[in-house]
Structure 1
Amino acid sequence: MTFFPATVLLLCFILFAAASTGVSYAGPGNVGICYGQLGDNLPSPSKSVELLKAMRVKQVKLYDSNPVILGALSGSDIRVTVMVQNQLLVSISTNQSIADEWIQSQILPFYPKTKIRYVLVGNEILSSSDRNTQLSLVPSMYRIQKSLAKFGLLRKVRVTTSLAMDVLQASYPPSNGTFRADISTQIIKPMLKFLNRAKSFVFIDVYPYFAWASDPVNINLDYALLSANNIKVTDPVTGLTYTNILDQMIDAVYFAMKRMGYPKLRIFIAETGWPNGGDIDQTGANVNNAAIYNRNVIKKFTTVPAIGTPAKPGVVIQAVLFALYNENMKTGQGSERHFGVLYPNGSSIYGLDFSGKMYARNQLKM
């Protein structure tokens, strides 16, 4: 294909705008993985980065700003999301110098050799019952953003936070999506205003597994695994038709944001996945289902042109699978320790092609 000078200039402008605003394009690299560290038998950060490269992972989410991991990622082509840990938010929210110190110590020593792209201010803060911490969320986001601006990183690194689906008071049908009354006015609306002005993303943790496990009689397993061929659910208000529960959950968030006056905010799937094992009564938590779900997620979000959701067709959505390893120190049901795509020794539990090329033609089911 031959480009004329005006076309070249236009293309350069588009690419610059995309880099400046965090916009992404459908295709390889749209699906990454969470690198959790709650295991006493996990490979070293340097070995883990080797494994990420071998799997062709292009983005990784951390649950802190571990300097050894960030150092190991230096010089790689892997985009990185780091996190301000929850216990720091109350202090940061009232003290700009603490926010400045965090950016100076946790970001500046590694950027730009380590491709830090997002700073998550806390993890699922609004699922906490600690009201002081909840109310510290948005002020902390503003302070972290101000620090990024102070050190010249505002156009390079986006600020957001990670939310669980329990921020919704109603989610079915999707058009009924509504944020919880206890957080909608004081926290959610100011947060959405911040994200809109910052041209950032709404990071949301979406787990069809837990929705299915809570009601396996009425929710079809294939519908939860994104594998249903002949099951369709229609939203009676909008008439939109759904073929999987992941789209329903995402659209419920879109509709909730629309109700708050922010219909154009973009969603980033900060966590999704399916356990490869669990307790004896967790029959759906197995390797076969985990492989099917994660492969279908990669296929969905790397397909070109972008599929989007029924409410937002064609919209590019990035997603991060949970998680890199089975983590033996996680608490809760057995499934919590079995979300990894790798065993702690680094061997694959089931093969994944993060480029999505393997799944471009056929939907794999093991």
Structure 2
Amino acid sequence: MASMGPPPLSFSTFILSLYLFSLLLRTTYSLPTTLGVTYFTPVPTTTQPKPPPPVHIATAISSLGFNSIRVLNPDPTLTRAFTYTNTTLFLTIPNPLVQPIASNRSMALRWLYVHVVPFYPRARITTISVGNDFLSASPPGFYSFLLPAIRNVHLALRDIGIRKISVSTSFSFINIVSTPFPPSSAEFQGLASDNLIKPLLQFLRDTNSSFLINIYPYNVYRLNSEIPIGFALFQEHPFNFRDDLITGVRYRNLFDMMVDAVISAMTAAGFVNIPVVVAETGWPSSGDALEVDANSAYAEMYLRGLVAHLKSGLGTPLRKEGVAEAYIYELFDDEVRWGKTPHERSWGILFSNMTKKYEIEFSGSDSAGGSRAFLCLCSFAVAVNIIRGPLHLLSL
């Protein structure tokens, strides 16, 4: 007698299949990182060209394919230009306001009523950074104002009924992390480690917020002559790797190494699973006469490699989901902002006339999308057969 095929897939079996499929999917790849760009609103002067209108900035962000923008000095007219768009906004409270906000919550409310309340939720504001690299930009001892300011902004948001905007602050990797290699040995350094970092991490965990870090492989590369340029630029070569002998983890680019150093430092401080956001990253297209590696060719290689890496969904060796968001520094070169000196680095991805420096696809789509979709279908088929197989055997 001819053997019968497996029984039809019941509803309960189908649900089990979906569950197993989700488990397989999680182990296959993570979602790509949200990719954004930083923007500094130029201060109008009589000697500098008039900055682009905010609506042109919003159009440029959309045409470049970015999902998010980090505004380093928020301006209400710019925020208004992003209302009813799909672009998320990451706002930064300027460093000079940190101390006043720490001393008086009404100052936090005043800032929110100017920069957030008139636009939210029509403008998709998701994050507020209280200061930008405040530790490096402020006199010694001023770090004591940072956490009270963060808490006051958080409480002020609750006072006006907004609960979906996270509050944090950003740090410079070089100034806050002891060493990039080996990443497993990294710790937070300086006097602020116990007095600021640990209480901040506790706050971030309690409020489901992210740790914001400015990561510049260019700066670490310049400080460490033994780092190959290809390792810093995401170049794939047979011997282009570094092994962490403590964990046995192999690193193939400097960006992952720096991110994992941050993750290890948080773990050493007693905190795991706090999301990491790369608040700034990039490579200069020009610098002073001694900075031969600050050139447009290397800048394009870094950005192209970064985008491909973030789109892949591979994460880092220590965190498979990778960084939650990453922001390329910056939309325009400094000369568009206030006039560039001969020895100042240029980081922008657009020229002052809003034309592109590089032919890079920044959008969320990627060439691996088709293969990943096929992989998902295969995983689902495997899940169905794993579930149906035992049921079929039980029916014999």
**Among 38, 49, 56, which residue is 1:34 paired with?**
38
Q: Measure, in 2, the Cα distance between the counterparts of 1:192 and 1:78.
A: 28
- Which residue number corresponds to residue 176 of structure 1? 185
Q: Measure, in 2, the Cα distance between the counterparts of 1:110 and 1:80.
A: 11
Q: Measure, in 2, the Cα distance between the counterparts of 1:251 and 1:53.
A: 31
Q: What's the CA shift string for 1:101-133, capped at 9, x where partnerless? A: 221222101111111110100000122352453
| 1:342 partnered with 2:360 | no
Q: Is the 8 A contact 1:307 1:313 kept in 2?
A: yes
Letter in structure 1 aligned against 2:221: W
Letter in structure 1 aligned against 2:131: G
Once the two structures are TM-superposed, the CA of residue 51 in structure 1 deviates from its matched residue by 1.0
Q: Measure, in 2, the Cα distance between the counterparts of 1:78 and 1:262.
A: 31
Q: Is the 8 A contact 1:302 1:355 kept in 2?
A: no
Q: Is the 8 A contact 1:326 1:341 kept in 2?
A: yes
Letter in structure 2 aligned against 1:26: L
- Which residue number corresponds to residue 18 of structure 1? none
- Which residue number corresponds to residue 89 of structure 1? 98
Q: Measure, in 2, the Cα distance between the counterparts of 1:335 and 1:297.
A: 23
1:130-149 map, 5 Å: 130-149=139-158
* CA separation of 1:316 and 1:249: change in aligned 2, threshold 3 A: closer
Q: Which has the larger radius of gyration?
A: 2
Q: Measure, in 1, the Cα distance between the counterparts of 2:194 and 2:341.
A: 32
TM-score by length of 1: 0.86
* CA separation of 1:355 and 1:139: change in aligned 2, threshold 3 A: same
Q: Measure, in 1, the Cα distance between the counterparts of 2:339 and 2:144.
A: 27
Q: Measure, in 1, the Cα distance between the counterparts of 2:282 and 2:71.
A: 16
Q: Measure, in 1, the Cα distance between the counterparts of 2:216 and 2:322.
A: 20
- Which residue number corresponds to residue 167 of structure 1? 176
Q: What's the CA shift string for 1:10-30, capped at 9, x where partnerless? A: 99xx9xxxxxxxxxx723x71
1:328-339 map, 5 Å: 328=335, 329=338, 334=343, 336=345, 338-339=346-347
Q: SS at the partner of 1:122?
A: strand
Once the two structures are TM-superposed, the CA of residue 38 in structure 1 deviates from its matched residue by 4.8
Q: Measure, in 1, the Cα distance between the counterparts of 2:341 and 2:274.
A: 33
Q: Is the 8 A contact 1:80 1:117 kept in 2?
A: yes
1:1-366 map, 5 Å: 26-27=31-32, 30-38=34-42, 40-41=48-49, 42-154=51-163, 156-165=164-173, 166-215=175-224, 217-230=225-238, 231-303=240-312, 306-328=313-335, 329=338, 334=343, 336=345, 338-357=346-365, 360=368
* CA separation of 1:331 and 1:121: change in aligned 2, threshold 3 A: farther
**Paired positions, count:** 340
Q: SS at the partner of 1:75?
A: coil
Letter in structure 2 aligned against 1:254: I
Q: Is the 8 A contact 1:26 1:301 kept in 2?
A: no
**Could you list the runs of 5+ residues in structure 1 that have no partner in the other structure?**
15-24, 362-366
Letter in structure 2 aligned against 1:224: A
Q: Is the 8 A contact 1:285 1:335 kept in 2?
A: no
Letter in structure 2 aligned against 1:262: F
- Aligned-pair identity in percent equals 28
Once the two structures are TM-superposed, the CA of residue 279 in structure 1 deviates from its matched residue by 2.1
Q: Is the 8 A contact 1:308 1:316 kept in 2?
A: yes
Q: What's the CA shift string for 1:47-77, capped at 9, x where partnerless? A: 1111111112110001122111111112211
Q: Measure, in 1, the Cα distance between the counterparts of 2:307 and 2:364.
A: 6
Letter in structure 1 aligned against 2:362: F
Q: Measure, in 2, the Cα distance between the counterparts of 1:47 and 1:330.
A: 21
Q: Is the 8 A contact 2:233 2:305 kept in 1?
A: yes
* CA separation of 1:269 and 1:71: change in aligned 2, threshold 3 A: same
Q: What's the CA shift string for 1:259-292, capped at 9, x where partnerless? A: 1110211101100001112222211112211111
- Which residue number corresponds to residue 19 of structure 1? none
Q: Is the 8 A contact 2:66 2:364 kept in 1?
A: no
Once the two structures are TM-superposed, the CA of residue 181 in structure 1 deviates from its matched residue by 3.4
Once the two structures are TM-superposed, the CA of residue 356 in structure 1 deviates from its matched residue by 4.9
Letter in structure 1 aligned against 2:317: P
**Could you list the runs of 5+ residues in structure 2 that have no partner in the other structure?**
1-10, 23-29, 370-396
Q: What's the CA shift string for 1:233-252, capped at 9, x where partnerless? A: 11121111111111111111
